[in-house]
Amino acid sequence: MSAAPVPGFVRAVVRSAWIAWAIRAALALPFAASVIAKLGNWPGAVAESVALGFGHPVWIAGATIATQAIGCVLLFTRRLCWLGAGMLAVFTACATLVAHAFWTLEGAERIAQMNTCFEHVAIIGGFAALAVLVHRSCAD
């Protein structure tokens, strides 16, 4: 059984450079906002690292900002989009395991953290889809 034909307007939207930019912007937005917030409140960024139990919180805060900023910039490149998507996906996976460990909680907090964890899994899936789509478009 073959797939249903794709309507022309859907094909045009999917191939639109504007839509590709909007997808990248949507995925980059929370990370870019985090970079701006952390740079605007460096003591808060360090305190966040301390609260999560990291040693060397100044280095962790700096590495977080660098990873997020570089990943965002790379998302908007054609040749290295996959690298930016990969960086932000791995960062998101690690941060989610540390900051949203719902399996250690109970009650309403467990449910709230589980929902946040699964939302982050969806973001990771978005990065994977973006990397695949950009790679395919480069191969064309």
pTM of the model: 0.87
pLDDT band at 1 (very low <50, low <70, confident <90, very high): low
Give pLDDT tens digits for 92-130.
999 999 999 999 999 999 999 999 999 999 999 999 999
Q: Where are the domains of the chain?
A: 22-139
Nearest-angstrom CA–CA distance, 94 and 22? 26
On the question of pLDDT at 2 being above 80, the answer is no
More confident residue, 15 or 75: 75
Instruction: Write down the H helix ranges in the chain.
Output: 8-15, 17-40, 42-51, 57-75, 81-99, 107-139
